[in-house]
């Protein structure tokens, strides 16, 4: 009898588990890691976001909502479920929130709605590197197929089964059923997705049931699955392209973006391309508008446009300055904002922490493709064809803000060691038209050591593939607050 019940439970689990999808437990785990490692530490840059997840129930809502976008699979409404995964649906969701008047000062009910939305965002972004290889990076499924010889279904369902047996009480304690049906139906209508309330309610209930039933329904099959997918079990967290750690970092980038879009702010950070070549095409539409490069006085002809780090500081004869430019052409010229802040994440300091000021730039420059090392490079290579370098650099204007010392932050603090500069005046000038946007320069004030920041190219920490791929969350940011 017991065996029959377990088999029945497993059949229910498999019937509810959509083909070609990360399982619900893994999605939920990615979402919670995104919250714990990144979003709770985002209050300074995006007011209200960190506070949102200081409430346990909001964290639980996000955890269960990470399964939401698969609601339509399994015979309910395949097309509507698929549409729930892509950019137009998320854009419609953020637009609905804006129309409702959402601001960073969210009340308790609005916080719950936002937590649900960001759970869906986590699901949708994590699916991409899990499924799809791009730009020479094999997806998690592709690597499991290559090393374990496992098919997609074996890896997807099997990996979820294994995670269900990990920290089961923690998993159950994080489940909280919540379905903002009125808002969801408004979003579906705005996105042009055909469905009805009964379908959506049934799908959300089913996804919640799978999350609750997963641990007991799958417990007896763990040993067999472990034999089938040993590589996937070992590297589900640390694989750099589609593993849990990488996906949590990618989800953080997009959660910050959609939170900002929902509350009247704007958040610009170079996003993972995941095969997208342009920001306005396809169901995945990343912002790819950041250019940056470091210039070295003692390597005056070098270009560093593709390096993973930007450097600022040094003494006379060996100074380092860094240039950054954010494309703002997607924003209307009359975009309202009260403050524009540049955020840079410090990766290390060589010597005495320098004092750094943000300066306007007076001429155009080309980022270039200089790279000395794809993982930890800083010095670049000799510039080619007009690429920016120390000898081919734009002029700089007066400082835009109080200079900041690299000693102001603790490199060990969770969420990243972020420094910021108020560049509101510069951004207002840039909004007059792209011809006015030459970017911002970071330069040392006096002599000191050299500060190293993550660049817009930061991604992998090493060549072995098991470095997590989390640096993407620490790329430079420009945040415009309402």
Check pLDDT > 50 for residue 3. Answer: no
Let me know how many helices (H) and strands (E) the chain has, helices first. 16, 14
pLDDT of 434 above 80:
no
pLDDT in tens, 314-327: 999 999 999 999 99
Residue 11 pLDDT level (bands cut at 50, 70, 90):
very low
Q: Are 198 and 183 in contact (CB under 8 A)?
A: no
User: According to the model, what pLDDT value does residue 86 have?
Assistant: 95
Q: What are the structure tokens assigned to 136, written together?
A: 């020479």
What band does 304 get if pLDDT is binned at 50, 70 and 90? very high
Cβ 465 vs Cβ 239: under 8 Å:
yes
Q: Which two tokens stand for residue 30?
A: 């990615």
DSSP-derived pairing of the beta strands 302-303 and 396-399: unpaired
Q: Is the predicted pLDDT of residue 366 greater than 80, yes or no?
A: yes
Q: How confident is the model at residue 415 (pLDDT cuts 50, 70, 90)?
A: confident
Tell me what the pLDDT averaged over the chain comes to. 92
- Taking 50 as the threshold, does the pLDDT of residue 6 lie above it? no
- Nearest CA among 134, 109, 438 for reference residue 284: 134
Pick from 137, 144, 160: nearest CA to 27: 160
Token readout for 105 is: 């000062």
What is the reported pLDDT for 9?
Answer: 46
Q: How many Å apart are CA 462 and CA 464, to the nearest integer?
A: 6
165-190 average pLDDT score: 95
Length of the chain: 482
Average pLDDT over residues 14-35: 80
Beta-strand ranges (E) seen in 27-106 are none
Position with higher pLDDT, 96 vs 220: 96
Q: Is the pLDDT of residue 116 over 70?
A: yes
pLDDT, average across residues 127-134: 95
The number of CA neighbours under 13 Å toward the Cβ of 361 is 24
pLDDT above 70 for 405: no
Please report the pLDDT score of residue 411 as a whole number: 67
107: Cβ contacts below 8 Å, ≥ 6 apart:
none
What pTM was estimated for this model as a whole? Answer: 0.93
How does pLDDT run across 228-240, given as a tens digit for each residue?
Answer: 999 999 999 999 9
Determine the pLDDT at residue 79: 96
Sign of CA dihedral 34, 38, 40, 46: negative
Query: How far is residue 440's CA from residue 433's CA, in Å, rounded to a whole number?
Result: 15
pLDDT at residue 399 in the model: 65
> Greater confidence, 440 or 414?
440
Give residue 4's pLDDT.
Answer: 40
SS3 content of the chain, % helix, strand, coil (to 5): 45, 15, 40
Q: Is the pLDDT of residue 340 over 80?
A: yes
The alpha carbon of 46 is separated from its chain's Cα centroid by a whole number of angstroms, namely 14
- Cβ 54 vs Cβ 46: under 8 Å: no
Q: Tokens for 302, please give them.
A: 């070098």
State the average pLDDT over residues 128-143. Answer: 95
Give residue-wise pLDDT tens across range 33-60: 999 999 999 999 999 999 999 999 999 9
């Amino acid at each position: 009898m017991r065996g029959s019940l377990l088999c029945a439970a497993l059949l229910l689990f498999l019937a509810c588990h959509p083909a070609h999808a990360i399982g619900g437990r893994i999605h939920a785990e990615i979402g919670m890691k995104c919250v714990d490692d990144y979003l709770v530490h985002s209050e300074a840059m995006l007011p209200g976001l960190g506070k949102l997840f200081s409430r346990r129930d909001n964290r639980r809502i996000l955890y269960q909502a990470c399964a939401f976008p698969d609601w339509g699979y399994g015979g309910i409404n395949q097309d509507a479920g698929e549409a729930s995964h892509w950019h137009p649906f998320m854009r419609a969701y953020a637009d609905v929130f804006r129309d409702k008047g959402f601001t960073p000062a969210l009340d308790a009910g609005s916080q719950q709605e936002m937590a649900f939305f960001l759970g869906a965002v986590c699901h949708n972004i994590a699916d991409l590197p899990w499924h799809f290889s791009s730009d020479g990076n094999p997806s998690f499924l592709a690597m499991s197929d290559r090393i374990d010889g496992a098919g997609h279904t074996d890896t997807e369902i099997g990996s979820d089964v294994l995670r269900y047996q990990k920290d089961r009480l923690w998993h159950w304690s994080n489940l909280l059923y919540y379905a903002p049906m009125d808002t969801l139906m408004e979003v579906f209508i705005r996105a042009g997705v055909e469905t009805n309330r009964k379908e959506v309610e049934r799908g959300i209930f089913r996804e919640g049931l799978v999350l609750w039933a997963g641990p007991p329904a799958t417990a007896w099959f763990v040993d067999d699955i472990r034999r089938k997918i040993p590589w996937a079990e070992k590297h589900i967290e640390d694989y750099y392209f589609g593993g849990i750690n990488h996906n949590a970092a990618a989800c953080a980038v997009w959660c910050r973006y959609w939170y900002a879009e929902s509350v009247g702010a704007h958040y610009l950070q170079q996003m993972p391309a995941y095969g997208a070549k342009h920001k306005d095409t396809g169901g995945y539409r990343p912002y790819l508008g950041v250019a940056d490069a470091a210039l070295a006085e003692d390597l005056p002809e070098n270009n560093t446009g593709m390096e993973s780090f930007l450097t600022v500081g040094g003494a006379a004869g060996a100074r380092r300055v860094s240039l950054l430019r954010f494309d703002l052409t997607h924003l209307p010229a009359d975009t309202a904002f009260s403050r524009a802040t540049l955020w840079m994440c410090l990766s290390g300091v060589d010597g005495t922490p320098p004092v750094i000021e943000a300066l306007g730039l007076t001429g155009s420059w080309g980022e270039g493709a200089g790279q000395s090392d794809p993982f930890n490079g800083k010095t670049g290579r000799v510039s080619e064809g007009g690429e920016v370098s120390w000898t081919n650099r734009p002029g700089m204007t007066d400082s835009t803000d109080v200079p900041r010392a690299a000693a102001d932050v603790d490199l060990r603090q969770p969420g990243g060691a972020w420094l910021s500069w108020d560049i509101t005046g510069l951004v207002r000038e840039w909004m007059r038209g792209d011809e006015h946007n030459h970017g911002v320069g970071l330069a040392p004030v006096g002599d000191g050591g050299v500060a190293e920041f993550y660049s817009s190219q930061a991604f992998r920490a090493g060549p072995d593939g098991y470095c997590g791929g989390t640096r993407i969350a620490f790329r430079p940011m420009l945040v415009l607050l309402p």
